Amino acid sequence: MNWELSEFGRGLCSGSGIGELMDDLGHALAQGEGRVRMLGGGQPAHIPEMDALWRQRMEEIIGQPGQLEHMLGNYEPPAGNMAFRAAIARLFYREFGWDIRAENVGITMGGQTAFFLLFNSLAGRFADGRQKKILLPLVPEYIGYANQSSGGEIFRAVKPRIEETGPHEFKYRVDFDALEVTEEIAAICVSRPTNPTGNVLTDNEIAKLAALAEENGIPLIIDNAYGAPFPNVIFTKATPVWNENIILTLSLSKLGLPGTRTGIVIAREHVIRSISSMTSIVGLSNTNVGQAIMQPLVESGEVLRLSQEVVKPFYEEKSRQAQAWVKEFFDDALPYRVHRSEGALFLWLWFEDLPITVKELYERLKARDVLVVPGHYFFFGVDDDDWRHRQECIRVTYTMEEHVVREGIQIIAEEVARAYAEGAA
């Protein structure tokens, strides 16, 4: 007999889209004995220069008396190591003139944890019975947000404007005409670049969203896990922005340190105090490893050079090559489109009027040892169940080895062509 679950328990313990997919990925990989083309996850690539740097930093930490012992054997404050937080604040003040101090910087157990804490402290049910929500001004949006509510549905999303930017290219734009901030909205949230599409909201779009949030007395939350100035997996112009009405999150994962689980939040001091309080309750403190590795690189500004000269060009070339394979393998007569690749680690493919659902396409691809992510998981918060577009897209990761990505894209093209041929028969 299973024990009864609370509303919180039912929400978080009963499975989710991302949980099912990760479980499927793990089982498929184990059964595939290395044959599986893993194009479905968000695993960053192992960049040789960055891997060498992490090894060097660990050797330096080991070589300095007391540093390893402190990193592994000491609790830090729940908001993070004060010297690391101060280094982050100085970096952004020096580079962008932001008026922040260490007290405006908080550390979390990865960016995912930061959003769980932020979403559930700002939205959900209130003591007077109100139910507040997070407004997503543009979907598709990061699948990892979808099931983070500790009680009830907390997202309201707005469909994008779809702009066809080339024969087989398109781009999502924020539909400001459809964007309405009501009393139930607790915050506006965007990722930049966007996971899953690689879309980068323009400086003008961000400025409009920031102004809209400020007018309504709510924060704009910007998820900068892939963005500028680090890790800078961004291939177009995008100015980093922060003010007291913005909550900005960053991460060390896409620099090449996902295993350290280190998220960074820049916000008003009272927001950081709230995050510190929640961290102490749910996790006591954060991991020290990422902060220890990165502190001298942040203090010197070397993290910005590495992001601009190593990380960014590595992924930009990966994106260019993956797009070239799409053009090589997809029949030009097929109604396929690729979202303009402006950053992040993915290609977002749209198959207009696809005769089957993307879940069916996912199953067909899995049977041929190719794993992608069906796009319908990324359209949460939208009420229109009949919107066909959500059943016509998939996310493909291009961070794996070249032969894996190439073979995977070729098989995707074959299965998509077969689906259209069956639909026409």
Q: 7-49+311-424 has which CATH code?
A: 3.90.1150.10
pLDDT of residue 32: 53
C-alpha 81/C-alpha 280 separation (Å) is 14
Instruction: Report the candidate in 89, 188, 67, 71 with the shortest Cα–Cα distance to residue 139.
Output: 188
For residue 383, give Cα distances in angstroms to 140, 336, 368, 386. Answer: 13, 25, 33, 9
Q: Which two tokens stand for residue 330?
A: 């997809």
- Residue 35 — pLDDT band, cuts 50, 70, 90? confident
C-alpha 197/C-alpha 341 separation (Å) is 7
C-alpha 368/C-alpha 24 separation (Å) is 14
Give, for 394, the enclosing helix (H) or strand (E): strand 393-397
- Identify the DSSP state of 4: P
pLDDT tens for each residue of 319-331: 999 999 999 999 9
pLDDT of residue 22: 65
- How many CB atoms within 10 Å of residue 204? 9
C-alpha 187/C-alpha 184 separation (Å) is 9
pLDDT tens for each residue of 167-182: 999 999 999 999 999 9
pLDDT tens for each residue of 192-238: 999 999 999 999 999 999 999 999 999 999 999 999 999 999 999 99
Q: Say if residue 314's pLDDT is above 90.
A: yes
Domain(s) of CATH 3.90.1150.10: residues in the chain: 7-49+311-424
C-alpha 160/C-alpha 94 separation (Å) is 36
pLDDT tens for each residue of 82-138: 999 999 999 999 999 999 999 999 999 999 999 999 999 999 988 888 899 999 999
Q: Say if residue 149's pLDDT is above 90.
A: no
Class of domain 76-306: alpha beta
Domain(s) of CATH 3.40.640.10: residues in the chain: 76-306
Read off the pTM. 0.94
Angle at 233 between CA 369 and CA 123, to 5 degrees: 90
Instruction: Report the candidate in 184, 185, 137 with the shortest Cα–Cα distance to residue 161.
Output: 137
